[in-house]
Chains A and B, each alone.
Chain A
Amino acid sequence: MEKSISINDVTKNYGSICALDNVSFEVEKGELFGLIGPDGAGKTTLFRILTTLLVPDSGTATVEGLDAIKDYKRIRSIVGYMPGRFSLYQDLSVEENLEFFASIFGVDVKDNYDIIAPIYSQIEPFAKRRAGKLSGGMKQKLALSCALIHRPQVLFLDEPTTGVDAVSRSEFWDMLAGLKQYGISILVSTPYMDEAGRCDRIALINEGKVLKIDTPENIKDKGATLEDTFIRLIQEENGKHDICQKSH
């Protein structure tokens, strides 16, 4: 079966700082894949490479079989991206934003309304309101609607729930689960462990390295929570690091 996203030995440095260190993993078609890791782990860098905004120093990445460097133009029309920072036009209204993103992808809002309906219907009463005047949770719903309006094959969500209240977060994950029926592959990052449990598979990532990839259930140590397991893995990793330094 062909993979939706495939990352092979991707490395990216910013000067002397190593953001990604030989990262490799694959995401199946239609899978909800979570990238779990603390701030500065390299999650956003990985998103920027997959969404063709950044070129890796080495390694290859493909999205739906398209090379992230060579075929960047084609990738841009088949993926939906929701950056970590709210990036819609705050001075345009809710419906104007949606219509704008539909038009630059060359689609009609009416034709693709079914896919965004469960999400967009919740903010539709505020269609005339400026995007900048929405609450955090409503902003996320609008951003997701705009990222979905052109029926992307792959959806990239960079920390979509950061700074959103607990109820809105839970609703947001329900919506992601609802997207499964459309066969959209979703790569989502989050610093919250409770959200990791709702993914099909997760990758634990820290300081540019993938520590472990598995289903949330299998990744957990016996009798421990996901959070405890993650902390143990990071400490183990840091311990290795210390030994290396001592041996020098």
Chain B
Amino acid sequence: MGVLRSLIIKEIRQFRRNPFMPKLVVMFPIAIVLVMPWITTMDVKDVSVGIVDYDGSDVSHKIISRIDASEYLELNSIYQDYPSALEDMEDGRVDAILEIPDGFGRSILSKPEKLSVWSNGVNSLKGSLGSQYLMQTVMQCLKDIRSSKGLQIPEGLIETTNLYNPTMDYKHFMIPALMIMLLVMIGGFLPALNLVSEKELGTIEQINVTPVNRFVFTLSKLIPFWIICFIDLGLCMTLALLVYGLPVAGSVWAIFLAAALFIIVMSSVGVMIANLSDTMQQTMFIMLFVVLSFILISGLMTPVESMPEWAQKVTWFLPPTYIIKIFRIVYLKGASVAELWTDYAALAGFAVLFCILAAMTYKKRG
């Protein structure tokens, strides 16, 4: 224990003297909570709409004023004909075009004529979500007109209700997942770089010719980062509550338990990569590849359900999939460890597996 203690004291001294690291571990959680949720939001705002009004009736004017009033839609301009609207879309000034056909106003009370919507697929997210907002706005408007005339609501009108994230605030959805980025960086990336820096600087050569056990040495590298991980996670959760009013719906301990298991996984991955590389550059590139795959395939940014089937199967083998699920459900819905035991078990399994791999990749001597 005395050796581990001196090794950790050494690590803390080196950490404090590093001109960059102490700033990083403070700025990172703050950026994750204060900046990232605004950037990674999938909410589409200010969808620019162009309207081709062949009708010119009372009804079409109502639709136009409703679009103009919408929070998400922004009325760009009203066109004489479709080609001039298309021209603006080609220049990127319009995200979606609504065409109101001639005689639409008269047909509304009997058998409505078809409305047409074109969306700009260049920014597919804005185009597709934007045109959906547009259709919803128009449908709502038509519904109001018909019901004021004592008519029934047209069939097939989609009514959406959002559960668990009642305001459907994308930030609330992203914050728990972004906290996992923090664990990946501080629990995995930094210890890996720290370990390999001893190789690169040659200091490992001196340490190897001492009675210091390699396991104790590695542990001394990990423990400071584990502590930082938990402090930063607590900081993130506090900031999320203070800034966004987002409390943990479930138990805070459920979050910390999942985080602890996941940190072991990430640290082992980091140690494994550090064992296999000789330079910081190698470690950086391999780690970057791993982290990017984790972020893109594990459902942090895009829902797993909308991935192709083979990719969904790949997500089963990625540890972040489970912690992202746990964090989101515990945070937003408030599930307990018992309800999510399969996901906790999967994380624990990965922790054991990667620990073994990390131990196996350590080469004692050349």
A103 on the B face (CB < 8 A): yes
Give the contacting residue for A83; candidates B205, B211, B212, B365; CB below 8 A.
Answer: B205
Q: In the complex, A76 Cα to B209 Cα: how many Å?
A: 5
Residues of the A chain whose Cβ atoms lie less than 8 Å from the Cβ of B209 = 51-53, 76, 79, 81
Residues of the A chain whose Cβ atoms lie less than 8 Å from the Cβ of B10 = 89, 92, 96, 100
CB closest chain-B residue, reference A90: B201
B7 on the A face (CB < 8 A): yes
The answer on a CB contact under 8 Å between B210 and A103 is no
Asked if A103 meets B3 with Cβ closer than 8 Å, knowing A83-B205, A88-B206, the reply is yes
Asked if A106 meets B206 with Cβ closer than 8 Å, knowing A73-B211, A91-B14, A96-B13, the reply is no
Residues of the A chain whose Cβ atoms lie less than 8 Å from the Cβ of B7 = 104
Q: Which 4 A-B pairs have the closest CB atoms?
A: A103-B6, A87-B206, A81-B209, A77-B211
* B contacts with A: majority SS: helix
The answer on a CB contact under 8 Å between A83 and B206 is yes
B17 on the A face (CB < 8 A): yes
B245 on the A face (CB < 8 A): no
B160 on the A face (CB < 8 A): no
The answer on a CB contact under 8 Å between A53 and B208 is yes
Residues of the B chain whose Cβ atoms lie less than 8 Å from the Cβ of A89 = 10, 14, 203
B2 on the A face (CB < 8 A): yes
Total interface residues on A, CB under 8 Å, equals 31
A105 on the B face (CB < 8 A): yes
Residues of the A chain whose Cβ atoms lie less than 8 Å from the Cβ of B206 = 81, 83, 87-88, 101, 146
Residues of the A chain whose Cβ atoms lie less than 8 Å from the Cβ of B205 = 53, 83, 85, 87
| Binary A-proximity of B202-224 (CB < 8 A = 1, otherwise 0) | 11011111111000000000000
A23 on the B face (CB < 8 A): no
Residues of A participating in the B interface, judged by any CB pair closer than 8 Å: 48, 51-55, 72-73, 76-77, 79, 81, 83, 85-92, 96, 99-101, 103-106, 130, 146
CB closest chain-B residue, reference A146: B206
CB closest chain-B residue, reference A69: B365
Most buried by A among B3, B7, B208: B208
A59 to chain B, nearest CB (A): 16
Q: In the complex, A51 Cα to B14 Cα: how many Å?
A: 27
The answer on a CB contact under 8 Å between A104 and B6 is yes
A80 to chain B, nearest CB (A): 8
Q: In the complex, A89 Cα to B12 Cα: how many Å?
A: 13
What are some 19 contacts across the A-B interface (CB < 8 A)? A53-B205, A53-B365, A53-B366, A54-B366, A55-B365, A73-B211, A76-B210, A87-B202, A91-B14, A91-B17, A92-B10, A92-B13, A96-B10, A96-B13, A100-B10, A101-B206, A103-B3, A106-B3, A146-B206
B167 on the A face (CB < 8 A): no
Residues of the A chain whose Cβ atoms lie less than 8 Å from the Cβ of B110 = none
Q: In the complex, A91 Cα to B16 Cα: how many Å?
A: 10
The answer on a CB contact under 8 Å between A85 and B202 is yes
Residues of the B chain whose Cβ atoms lie less than 8 Å from the Cβ of A81 = 206, 209
| Binary A-proximity of B1-25 (CB < 8 A = 1, otherwise 0) | 0110011001001100110000000
B12 to chain A, nearest CB (A): 11
Q: Which chain B residues numbered 53 to 98 have a C-beta less than 8 Å away from chain A?
A: none
Q: In the complex, A237 Cα to B198 Cα: how many Å?
A: 40
A157 to chain B, nearest CB (A): 12
